A = this chain, B = another copy of it.
């Protein structure tokens, strides 16, 4: 196989794999040609095509191979690199109107890059070199790397080792490597990847040692079963026609992965028992990944456009309340973008030399993402008008007898096409209730951690003792003191704020 050069070659690379995928109680013959799965493949293919059309935005020169590869395969070595990820993510959100599924893996190996370095430094292991070798391989083929983090958690009051067979863990090992079992839920784009990096999902204790396993596995490794997730309006992709589905070309993908003694060879293992680094890995991953939700500002651009377009087609004059709602949507959407790039821009180097995002701002960004798309969806439904929920079917619209009547009675502004109006309304339905509502709303809620996870992380970074001192000084309780205040605060979050390494 040669290096994947564009979307078409990517799609071809997914053919003829031996994957065990269940959907509607049946094994999927060929996911590439499955009408319900294909839109998710198209979305990922778009990441390749954008790299061709806008190489500065979506590709880099690999430091490993010297050739141009996807920016999704890049280890960030500057704040600018982090920001550029965001810019690429926004563009892909604009182009697909949904989740293009390629950020998890990117954020995973960026986190692992520094964590493996620090494990090696402490323990004399060689995970970091293995990681670089693995990335070199990925760069050679320009592959898609998926990231598998979220275990099914079973009884959440119990740690992994007290549950028989839930979290992914090492079940046996031999000289050549280890075998893992367990299940991962909510695996975005897993079937559309070439390789998957398996990682632990929570802080682990000494007794959870077997769960402290990180490794790379080809998606078609023996012992893996995928069960495809059902989402709102999923079967519309399987109907005839391209109107009712709303966005005929693109969709997201969520599946469950069950591992049954799946083998990881030694050279693809990046953590093996170092349980006390699990929390570090999770935190670094989420620091990257929460900021990656800037992609939703690109999806939001589409929704704003759809809302503005339907206002035109509805023939409402430029009423002030309509303009005001578009402004509000934009204000919210740009807040997501701005907090995201601020998190990237205020990134800082790790010991390994690569850059990581500002954790506080990454959490602020993601926390907005758990709310603002919902409000934007509400506003889009407002601007759409009631028709978004009462439209007749595509078949009726094209019916020889009543089709003409519908096109007459459902016309909006003079001189516009009824079908255009229907198509935009179906797109709004798609993004707020239908196929891609999961990608725009529910995934925005739960991806990279549910809202409470961000609040906890914000609490950890908020340096409340420093702030209390500011208040005490101004209230006249405490002297400004001898210590150099500015120097003292140069640690943690305010170290990054005032550190001036911009």
A450 within 8 Å of B (CB atoms): yes
Do the beta carbons of A409 and B258 come within 8 Å of each other? yes
| Complex CA distance for A17 and B136, rounded to whole angstroms | 71
Classify chain A: how many residues form its interface, as a range: 35 or more
Contacts of A341 in B (CB 8 A): 342, 345-346
A16 within 8 Å of B (CB atoms): no
Do the beta carbons of A388 and B442 come within 8 Å of each other? yes
Q: Whole-angstrom distance from the CB of A418 to the nearest CB of chain B?
A: 11
A275 within 8 Å of B (CB atoms): no
* A 430-456 binary contact with B (CB < 8 Å = 1; else 0): 000110011001110111001110010
Q: Whole-angstrom distance from the CB of A298 to the nearest CB of chain B?
A: 9
Tell which of A61-69, A119-127, A208-216, A304-312 binds the partner: A304-312
Interface centre among A97, A243, A486 (most CB of B within 10 A): A486
Pick from B185, B232, B316, B335: contact of A364, CB below 8 A: B335
Pick from B388, B450, B459, B475: contact of A426, CB below 8 A: B475
| Complex CA distance for A141 and B173, rounded to whole angstroms | 74
A464 within 8 Å of B (CB atoms): yes
Residues A460-502 near B (CB distance < 8 A) = 462, 464, 466-472, 474-477, 484-486, 497-498, 500, 502
Do the beta carbons of B228 and A392 come within 8 Å of each other? yes
Contact A385 to B446, CB < 8 A, known contacts A364-B335, A464-B308 = yes
| Complex CA distance for A446 and B500, rounded to whole angstroms | 30
A273 within 8 Å of B (CB atoms): no
| Complex CA distance for A393 and B420, rounded to whole angstroms | 33
Do the beta carbons of B309 and A442 come within 8 Å of each other? no
* A 225-243 binary contact with B (CB < 8 Å = 1; else 0): 1011111110110000011
Do the beta carbons of A156 and B395 come within 8 Å of each other? no
Contacts of A451 in B (CB 8 A): 382
Do the beta carbons of B500 and A306 come within 8 Å of each other? no
Do the beta carbons of B497 and A54 come within 8 Å of each other? no
A402 within 8 Å of B (CB atoms): yes
Do the beta carbons of B405 and A498 come within 8 Å of each other? no
Do the beta carbons of A23 and B396 come within 8 Å of each other? yes
Q: Whole-angstrom distance from the CB of A6 to the nearest CB of chain B?
A: 15
Q: Whole-angstrom distance from the CB of A250 to the nearest CB of chain B?
A: 7
* A 331-369 binary contact with B (CB < 8 Å = 1; else 0): 100110111011101100000000000001100110110
Contacts of A258 in B (CB 8 A): 402, 405, 409
The binding surface of chain A is classed by DSSP as helix
Q: Whole-angstrom distance from the CB of A109 to the nearest CB of chain B?
A: 22
Contact A392 to B305, CB < 8 A, known contacts A321-B320, A342-B345, A502-B80 = no
Q: Whole-angstrom distance from the CB of A377 to the nearest CB of chain B?
A: 8
Do the beta carbons of A232 and B390 come within 8 Å of each other? no
Do the beta carbons of B390 and A256 come within 8 Å of each other? yes
A414 within 8 Å of B (CB atoms): yes
Do the beta carbons of A474 and B427 come within 8 Å of each other? yes
Pick from B225, B247, B342, B433: contact of A474, CB below 8 A: B247
Pick from B25, B96, B248, B368: contact of A398, CB below 8 A: B25
Pick from B227, B312, B389, B455: contact of A327, CB below 8 A: B455
Do the beta carbons of A486 and B427 come within 8 Å of each other? no
* A 1-41 binary contact with B (CB < 8 Å = 1; else 0): 00000000000000000000011111000000000000000
Do the beta carbons of B433 and A442 come within 8 Å of each other? yes
| Complex CA distance for A75 and B172, rounded to whole angstroms | 65
A370 within 8 Å of B (CB atoms): yes
Can you give 22 A-B contacts (C-beta < 8 A)? A50-B486, A53-B484, A53-B486, A54-B486, A54-B498, A90-B497, A155-B413, A229-B389, A231-B389, A258-B402, A304-B462, A309-B472, A331-B367, A335-B368, A339-B339, A339-B342, A341-B346, A342-B342, A371-B378, A374-B377, A386-B442, A386-B450
List 7 additional A-B contacts (Cβ < 8 Å) besides A331-B367, A335-B368, A342-B342: A227-B406, A232-B429, A256-B406, A258-B409, A306-B468, A308-B464, A327-B459
